Structure 1
């Protein structure tokens, strides 16, 4: 009987929120982009140091973003 108290729509709401947060993780604001560029010019590829200046971002996210946007292998 306890199972009937939970509707399946709750599960889809959680799933759609996870999808939205996953998408927003990959989107960087203009301020974040500017900070990443400035920090990269100062410290180079020290992604953990750069990530420490941007709340909620990991070194891996920043490195992946940098490589996708500013990769010099053209």
Structure 2
């Protein structure tokens, strides 16, 4: 059950992170919203018995965190 919750949180965070990757000015700040959501999903996924939800959230953390790292968290 926790894996399904983690997967749902991961898909929501992935949709938000994909919007943040677009090269529209100030839109990448949306990654600041996706990152804590993905961290919450990864924490829930770590408690579950399966790894799929945790892995999805770790992927979203890499995407949004990498985008923030490359732009110094600004744009």
**TM-score between the two structures when normalised by the length of structure 1:** 0.30
Q: Counting helix residues as a fraction of each chain, which structure ranks higher?
A: 2
**TM-score between the two structures when normalised by the length of structure 2:** 0.30
Task: Give 1 or 2 for the bigger CA radius of gyration.
Answer: 1
